Chain A
Amino acid sequence: MTRVLLAGAALLALSAAASAQTVGFSQIGSESGWRAAETTLTRQQAEERGYTLQFSDAQQRQENQIAALRSFIAQGVDAILIAPVVATGWDSVLQEAQEAEIPVVLLDRQVDSSDDLYLTAVGSDLVHEGEVAGEWLLGEVGEEECRVVELQGTTGSSPAIDRAQGFRNAIEGHANVEIVRSQTGDFTRAGGKSVMESFLQAEGGGENICALYAHNDDMAIGAIQAIKEAGLAPGEDIKIVSIDAVPDIFQAMAAGEANATVELTPNMAGPAFDALEAYWADGTEPEKFIQTESRLYTQADDPAAEYEARKDLGY
């Protein structure tokens, strides 16, 4: 028993020494590589800044997230980060956090509660991602004619709708660039490959296609396979631009088989911690939505090094 007590006392002492700031993070789960990378980066960011991170994986269940938030409040953490699994049903627990004067930052997804109840939300603008991809292509082709094929995400999903819209916004008013075919590849490699095969057949074996725009990297990687099998050189005969910036697309870029990708950064915690630091320091209220950078990567950005930097993040 004394040993247990001693261990308890030691733990107490430890937590007191490291009690710079304690941040609770309620993550949805680990359903995708991107989310795993988000978790890894949040841990890294917390460690760099010397915070104690209390991590709780909700296993896709809202009741687990609510319970975790309540426990964070009971524990008296200095801030809470949450990636909410659904948009509804957060009012009462957010109110509790507010009454306990604990700032809450939403990561990557929104809630439908009043925005007085949280400090800020950090996320990416999906329409903007499509615009960045479209602008890159415009710069690439100049005044030349360019017939574009589009691999869409899952029909009806918000990334598919927004990324399609953004790309169209960018090329609007440029008569030389035209989307000639558009179909869903369901965000998967297999889907990207089979849809690209049918695009190639329909467009004279691929001779009439100048560029491919894929709503995510996985579909682009599938399409690269299809283009190679059709005897064309991906990245040269057909320019390829996609979104997400997962490690594998950098490998393809290093091999010259893909041209550009727009990053959906999993580092949502960095901007969140910056906002929190300002808030802790002098109570600065940040904007209610902090947009993460949608950075463009091309073959000129040393894709091999980018691959090395990302491959261990858990994608």
Chain B
Amino acid sequence: MTINPRLYPLLTTIGIFIVGYFLCYLQFPNILSTRVVGNLLTDNAYLGIVAVGMTIVILSGGIDLSVGSVIAFSGVFIAVMLRDTDLPAPLIIVMLLVITSAFGAAMGWLIHALAMPAFIVTLAGMFLARGAAYMLTIDSIAITDPFFAAIQNAYWLMPGRGRLTLIGVLMVVVVLAGALLAHRTRFGASVFALGGGEQTARLMGVNVGRTTVLIYAFSGLMAGLSGVVFSVYTGSGYPLATVGTELTAIAAVVIGGTILTGGAGYVIGTLFGVLTMGLIQTYLVFDGSLSSWWTKIVIGMLLLLFILLQKGLLRLTAFGAARA
């Protein structure tokens, strides 16, 4: 039986996670407790959700640098609206998701209409969203709304006193929905086609403009949702929050086995990328004597490994094609 070479990065990611978890377990048996498993999902819920949006963007050959700022904006928007208006929390959340999706759609439209690199347009979006957050407030505002408190305290106590929180479950659901969207829908097929090259996609009959707008709108939606989860997680809105999270999300996508130039990858891999990064962080806290900057060093090494793996894979498939 032969395995499709396209699956290698995904299998590597899952393998690294499982082996890593096992090695951590050998040193700290507590790491296999339901508490840690619950924490991994809860602590990385916002990152997992935003990384799903980023996966779609990267699969299409693009990049979205605005998401970290959009998460911060979302938290501040929710906190300020709850403090200054009498609108119900669910309505504010819907308003926010509409705003961030429209913001993403506008960036997608600029990228397509002006034929600008996504890097530049979303860089501008990053500054805009962060600036908008500062316009609303420069303080950290607590969220005391009962609806948010209810979500915060919504968890299922697993055996072993671990908590499976609502936001952790939401992250898993979003990943599954993202996987369906990418691998089982027409839109998903267009995203992959676009990642293979704009010309090819056009020849295949993909509406490039519409797809680009939708891709960035989806990323904006995910960033908004991630912002909601982050504000539940921290119970506050803070304009300085999640600086650099866009880069963490990109790293999670690449460690998850998606090729940075687009066209190949799996949404489910991104989940393992996120969990691997969470595992490194957990290990460092359990160890307690290593500098926490080691998180960055290990992530850097993993990134390098995956880039090399992808290059090797390209060679391999090119070789295979030539032989055939």
Contacts and interface: CB of A to CB of B under 8 A. Distances in A.
Interface of A: 4-5, 7-8, 11-12, 24, 52-59, 61-64, 66-68, 70-76, 86-92, 96, 100, 112
B235 interface: yes
Contact of A54 (B163, B233, B288, B293): B288
A307 B46 CA distance: 47
Contact of B152 (A7, A12, A92): A92
Nearest to A29: B292
Interface string B143-184: 000000000110000000111000000000000000000000
A166 to B, nearest CB: 24
Interface residues of B, number: 42
Contact of B26 (A8, A62, A67): A8
Given A86-B140, A88-B236, A75 B286 contact: yes
Contacts of A71: 36, 39, 281-282, 285-286
B142 A112 contact: yes
Nearest to A73: B35
Contact of B293 (A53, A59, A73): A59
Nearest to B282: A71
6 tightest Cβ-Cβ pairs between the two chains A and B: A54-B288, A88-B236, A89-B234, A89-B236, A71-B285, A74-B35
18 contacts: A24-B285, A52-B288, A54-B288, A54-B289, A55-B288, A56-B288, A56-B292, A59-B292, A64-B292, A68-B285, A70-B35, A70-B39, A71-B285, A72-B285, A73-B35, A74-B35, A74-B39, A88-B234
Contacts of A89: 140, 142, 234-236, 238
Contacts of A70: 35, 39, 42-43
Nearest to A91: B235
B285 A54 contact: yes
Interface in B271-312: 278, 281-282, 284-289, 291-293
Interface string B27-49: 11110010110010011001000
Contacts of B12: none
Given A70-B35, A71-B285, 4 more contacts: A24-B285, A63-B234, A70-B42, A89-B235
B141 interface: yes
